[in-house]
């Protein structure tokens, strides 16, 4: 049965961020993920994880200037020193929080940078980051993000990510497979998961259209969860969706999708 991790950047948004850890634990989650920890001290987050007996399974490296529209600097020529500093900061947090996976956002290359330039920069940066993460016992992940939600994002299809990973040539770089992004770009979910499973270290979910809970859109999640089990996937699936019910308590009311799809949070075992 899939192990679900609550995404605290998307769920319980009526609560302050540090209070979402308790909400996740009360809902029955044993694992969490989120986008970025850098607005908080690592020990603040560590205290919440310990208090609520939660495992943090994933967070992202710093994305550059998020407010200005940057979504990662890994494919920006000329910003390699900044990128390397972001790797060091991300690993500092991940080591303090016991995070086994770091996601490196490929980014949106600026105007005037050719595809070849962006690709070469990204490959070099991923090679560096994967080696640094390996020294800390942490896996580096690369996620394709659909170009409807994030126009211009450099990596938007799973097999494009695999080709980049092959060019990097590291045994510590894995695919982060987001079912929602994959469905928006190409569909063919079950067969793609079967083909690429050996390269996948983390999954995420949301339905489409709307990026809401499973069961609110077109993806046949009951079948997909069974197929993921059959394939032998043992990692986590991050619940990175926007609750359809946006009122206070909407996240908790929306969690009925879990039982409705034949799943449970109660038998997840020890966090991986």
Can 240 be counted among the known catalytic residues?
yes
Distance CA 197, CA 73 (A): 27
Can 188 be counted among the known catalytic residues?
no
- Out of 33, 132, 143, 213, the active site residue is 143
Active site residues: 143, 240
């Amino acid at each position: 049965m899939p192990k679900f991790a609550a995404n605290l950047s998307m769920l319980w948004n009526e609560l302050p961020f540090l209070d979402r850890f308790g909400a996740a634990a009360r809902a029955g989650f044993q694992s969490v993920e989120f986008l970025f920890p850098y607005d908080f001290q690592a020990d603040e987050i560590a205290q919440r994880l310990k208090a609520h007996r939660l495992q943090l399974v994933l967070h992202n490296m710093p994305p550059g200037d998020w407010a200005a529209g940057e979504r990662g600097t890994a494919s920006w020529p000329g910003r390699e020193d900044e990128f390397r500093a972001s790797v060091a900061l991300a690993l500092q947090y991940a080591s303090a929080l016991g995070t086994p996976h770091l996601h490196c956002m490929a980014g949106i290359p600026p105007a005037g940078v050719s595809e070849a330039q962006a690709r070469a920069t990204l490959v070099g940066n991923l090679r560096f980051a994967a080696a640094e993460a390996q020294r800390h016992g942490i896996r580096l992940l690369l996620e394709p993000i659909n170009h409807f939600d994030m126009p211009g994002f450099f990596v938007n299809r799973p097999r494009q990510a695999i080709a980049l990973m092959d060019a990097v040539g590291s045994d510590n770089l894995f695919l982060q497979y987001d079912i929602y992004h994959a469905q928006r770009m190409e569909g063919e979910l079950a067969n793609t998961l079967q083909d690429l499973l050996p390269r996948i270290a983390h999954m995420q979910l949301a339905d489409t259209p709307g990026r809401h809970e499973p069961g609110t859109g077109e993806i046949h999640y009951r079948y997909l969860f069974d197929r993921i089990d059959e394939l032998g996937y043992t990692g986590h699936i991050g619940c990175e969706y926007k609750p359809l019910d946006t009122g206070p308590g909407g996240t908790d009311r929306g969690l009925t999708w879990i039982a409705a799809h034949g799943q449970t949070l109660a038998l997840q075992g020890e966090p991986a």
